[in-house]
Amino acid sequence: MNITEKITVTNEDNMNLMSRYPDKYFDLAIVDPPYGIGIDGQKKSVNKNPKHNRKNHDKKNWDYCIPSINYFNELFRVSRNQIVWGGNYFTAFLNPTKAWIFWYKGQNDLTMSDGEMAWTSFDKVTRQININRAELIKQNTFHPTEKPIKLYKWLLDKYANPGNKILDTHLGSGSIAIACHDYGFELTACELDTDYYNASVERIKRHVAFNQSLFSQEELTQQTTLFQ
């Protein structure tokens, strides 16, 4: 589905999607595959500090194992550079790198990890980005491992160049699509789960429509000012 001229998302297996593209077609792949740790659902919990609240997400069993070597071979074939969230779980398939990314979530008073790690193919140094997990409350999450839009915008700022074609093989909640739309990047992405796919498409469409409405209002205000 072409949501905009630059944002294309499909409901399909990522191996099918990647098979349609020639070598190095995408400039940058930003992906968040299953980590194989069973975080594909959660029970609702309410805490004294609202930023630690958890919404209920039904168990779907997509996080029972990591992708195969075939997935990574295809990913490296169709993209020039890669950022792989959860790279610490895929070290058997990834080359050593000095350019790790650490997302610090500001939740070190919980039993959960302080943050998440991403492997990159870049010849750069390791970087840390501090974005509080409380950002997810604003997003009204529907996916148990949803990431903040701000996080994807930071990645695009630091690792993408204007005109780059971006690939995401695990669309999930669609946060990356919103970031790409706002920054003008061309994105091709897929999501296998139909429920997540439909919800992410609606979320992206709402965001695009809202932005268009804001632009129209600003344009009308400017025109009115000119004729005053």
Whole-angstrom CA distances from 217 to 31, 87, 222 are 35, 43, 9
According to DSSP, the β-strands at 115-120 and 26-31 are unpaired
In this prediction, residue 216 carries a pLDDT of 47
Give the integer Cα–Cα distance in Å for 48 and 52.
Answer: 8
Confidence of residue 45 (pLDDT cuts 50, 70, 90): low
The closest of 97, 105, 113, 94 to 37, measured between CA atoms, is 113
User: Which candidate, 30, 31, 29, places its Cα nearest to that of 21?
Assistant: 29
- Residue 162: inside a domain, yes or no? yes
CA distance 105 to 133: 5
Residue 70 inside a domain? The answer is: yes
CATH number at residue 184: 3.40.50.150
Query: What integer pLDDT is reported at residue 103 of this predicted model?
Result: 95
pLDDT reported for residue 214: 53
Contact between 165 and 62 under an 8 Å Cβ cutoff? The reply is: no
Q: What is the Cα–Cα distance from 160 to 197, expressed in whole angstroms?
A: 25
What's the domain range around 137? 7-226
Provide the percentage of residues in the chain whose pLDDT is more than 90.
68
Residue 1 lies in a domain: no
Which amino acid appears at position 57 of this protein?
A: H
Q: Is 77 part of a structural domain of the chain?
A: yes
Q: Which of 1-5, 53-57, 164-168 has the lowest mean pLDDT?
A: 53-57
Answer yes or no: is 163 within a domain: yes
Cα distance between residue 161 and residue 207, in whole Å: 23
Examine the pLDDT at 133 and tell me if it is beyond 90: no
Give a three-class secondary structure readout of 28-60.
EEEECCCCCCCCCCECCECCCCHHHCECCECCC
Q: What pLDDT does residue 55 have? A: 54
Q: Return d(Cα 73, Cα 78) in angstroms, integer.
A: 9
112 confidence band (pLDDT: 50, 70, 90): confident
| pLDDT single digits (tens) 20-41 | 999 999 999 999 999 998 877 6
Q: What is the mean pLDDT of residues 74-91?
A: 98
17: helix, strand or coil:
helix
Q: What is the mean pLDDT of the chain?
A: 87
Residue 34 placed within a domain: yes
User: What is the DSSP code (8-state) at residue 66?
Assistant: P
Q: 148 pLDDT exceeds 60? A: yes
Each residue of 176-204: pLDDT tens digit?
A: 999 999 999 999 999 999 999 999 999 99
Picking from 5, 8, 1, the residue whose alpha carbon sits closest to that of residue 176 is 8
- Residue 114: inside a domain, yes or no? yes
Query: How many CB atoms within 10 Å of residue 164?
Result: 18
Residue 2 lies in a domain: no
Q: What is the pLDDT of residue 226?
A: 43
What is the tens place of the pLDDT at every residue in 60-80?
Answer: 788 889 999 999 999 999 999
The structural domain count of the chain equals 1
